């Protein structure tokens, strides 16, 4: 269990903690060998498919081309041309008898005699076929320059071919435009020059990864981020949700249980997810999270609220909370791809930490990073327990 966070001052308006919101920010195609607004409180309505990931794994600078490739390939000094003299006594130990070719392959040639009986003069024959080349989706030719691939929110990532392996290097950061958002995501900005209390405007992220012209004044639309649990007992469903570095709120301290405390001085990335029960019975549901791609690792906090209001009116009024996985539950059985019980979080059975949902009802799950604001794609699991 992590140590309890020291809390700062919590701003409360009518019993509700002050929440600060904001909006967030391909194929291996070779190129020719030649060198080459608004103020107010907002909630991002982004779907669960934001491709921007930021993890604790060290990444390369997307502007770097260290490690070879991208025009830095050196084939070495040229070999003696076909028909030039050679020494047959050296055989294939002669460095002139073989050379690299293609994608880290090798081609060889023989030193042959010109006379019918194999006598001299001896000259180099033509090169044979290229053998042993690297194959597969990550194979590349280090003598070529490759176009950057699209990634994240209108970002790009370089493709650098490693001349020693003939495979594309990995670990580069995705370079995204400043304040880029995910196309199709929406955010609601409360106020935004609307004269009626409780109204605001919806902004939609364009194909250019920027928020465009706002809508007319309206009340907040329903939560677009949701999971509908299965009606079958024992069945688990999952969905990926994107947390944005610029969509933040005060950190909910789940260490001490519910009611929770909110540290308004520590702003963290978050998303509020509606958990829907489509059945005519009260259901206990286990909720936990894990990495989307099997490698990212984030420190998360989960709190559940007995409300369908988005976001919850009072962030302190949770019904269940946890900032760790409970040993021996679905949260740590590798179904999430991780056994880190102190990083990922879960509200699970066994124990009394799994929330209940009334018949045909909805509860709200508040998923947040523990103490940081960064882009994160996180997979959330929901298991119907009864």
> Which residues lie below 8 Å from residue 355, measured CB to CB, with a gap of 6+?
275, 284, 285, 287, 304, 306, 319, 320, 347, 363
Tokens representing residue 263 in the block? 């540290």
Joined together, the tokens standing for residue 45 give 């309505």
d(CA 98, CA 79): 9
Identify the three-state secondary structure at position 145. Answer: strand
320 burial (CB, 10 Å; 0-12 / 13-18 / 19+) is buried
8 token code pair: 């700062």
pLDDT in tens, 255-292: 778 999 999 899 999 999 999 999 999 999 999 888 87
Number of residues in the chain: 386
* Cβ atoms 262, 11 nearer than 8 A: no
- Kindly state the tokens that stand for 133: 């080349």
Of 65, 146, 69, 131, nearest to 101 (Cα)? Answer: 131
The answer to whether 40 and 200 have CB atoms below 8 angstroms apart is yes
Which residue from 258, 183, 191, 255 is spatially nearest to 218, judged by alpha carbons? 191
Neighbours of 120 (CB within 10 A): 10
Asked if 181 and 210 count as a contact pair (C-beta separation under 8 A), the reply is yes
Q: Name which of 304, 353, 296 is nearest 325 in CA terms.
A: 353
Q: What is the pLDDT along the chain (386 residues), one digit of tens a residue?
A: 444 443 333 333 333 333 333 333 334 444 433 333 333 444 444 443 343 443 334 445 554 433 333 444 455 688 999 999 999 889 889 999 999 888 999 999 999 886 655 566 899 999 999 999 999 988 999 889 999 998 878 889 999 999 899 999 988 888 888 888 878 777 778 888 999 988 888 888 899 988 889 999 988 776 778 899 999 999 999 998 888 887 888 999 877 789 999 998 999 999 999 999 999 999 999 998 888 766 667 889 999 999 887 778 789 999 999 888 766 567 754 444 445 555 788 898 876 789 999 999 999 999 999 889 888 888 899 999 99
Q: What is the DSSP annotation of 82-144?
A: TTSB--GGGGGGSGGGEEEETTTEEEE--EEESSTTS-S-EEE------BS---STTB--TTS
Taking CA 138 as the corner, what is the angle to CA 133 and CA 140, rounded to the nearest 5 degrees? 55
Query: What would the DSSP string read from start to end of 15-72?
Result: TEE-----------PEEPSS-----S-EEE---TT------SS--B-TT--TTS-TT-
Task: Compute the distance between CA of residue 233 and CA of residue 383 in angstroms, rounded to an integer.
Answer: 8
State the Cα–Cα distance between residues 45 and 367, nearest whole angstrom: 14
Q: Are 28 and 21 contacting, i.e. CB atoms less than 8 angstroms apart?
A: no
> What is the C-alpha separation between 182 and 378, in angstroms, rounded?
15
Nearest to 245 by CA among 190, 199, 176, 195: 176
Contacts by 216-219 with C-beta closer than 8 Å and gap 24+? 217/192
What would the pLDDT profile of 350-371 be if each residue is shown by its tens digit? Answer: 767 899 999 999 999 999 998 8
């Amino acid at each position: 269990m992590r140590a309890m966070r020291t809390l700062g001052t919590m701003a409360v308006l009518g019993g509700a903690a002050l929440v600060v919101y904001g909006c967030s920010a391909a194929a291996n195609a070779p190129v020719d060998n030649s060198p080459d607004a608004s103020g107010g409180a907002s909630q991002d309505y982004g779907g669960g498919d934001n491709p921007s990931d930021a993890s604790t794994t060290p990444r390369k600078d997307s502007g770097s081309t260290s490690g070879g490739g991208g025009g830095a390939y050196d084939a070495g000094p040229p070999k003696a041309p076909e028909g030039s003299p050679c020494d047959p006594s050296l055989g294939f130990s002669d460095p002139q008898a073989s050379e690299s070719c293609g994608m880290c392959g090798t081609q060889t040639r023989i030193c042959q005699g010109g006379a019918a009986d194999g006598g001299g003069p001896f000259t180099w024959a033509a090169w044979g076929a290229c053998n042993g080349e690297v194959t597969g989706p990550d194979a590349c030719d280090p003598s070529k320059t490759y176009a950057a691939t699209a990634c994240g929110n209108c970002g790009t990532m370089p493709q650098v071919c490693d001349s020693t392996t003939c495979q594309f290097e990995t670990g580069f950061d995705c370079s995204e435009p400043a304040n880029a958002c995910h196309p199709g995501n929406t955010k609601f900005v409360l106020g935004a020059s609307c004269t009626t209390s409780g109204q605001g405007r919806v902004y939609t992220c364009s194909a250019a990864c920027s928020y465009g012209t706002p809508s007319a004044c309206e009340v907040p639309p329903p939560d677009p981020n949701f999971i509908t649990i299965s009606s079958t007992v024992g069945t688990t469903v999952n969905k990926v949700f994107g947390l944005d570095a610029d969509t933040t709120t005060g950190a909910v301290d789940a260490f001490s249980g519910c009611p929770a405390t909110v540290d308004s001085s520590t702003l963290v990335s978050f998303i509020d997810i509606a958990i829907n029960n489509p059945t005519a019975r009260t259901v206990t549901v286990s909720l936990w999270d894990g990495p989307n791609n099997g490698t990212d690792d984030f420190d998360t906090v989960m709190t559940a609220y007995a409300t369908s209001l988005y976001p919850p009116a009072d962030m302190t009024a949770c019904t269940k909370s946890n900032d760790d996985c409970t040993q021996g539950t679905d949260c740590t059985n590798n179904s999430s791809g991780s056994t880190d019980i102190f990083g990922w979080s879960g509200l699970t059975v066994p124990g009394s930490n799994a929330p209940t949902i009334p018949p045909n009802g909805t509860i709200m799950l508040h998923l947040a990073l523990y103490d940081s604001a960064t882009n994160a794609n996180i997979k959330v699991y929901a298991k119907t327990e009864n």
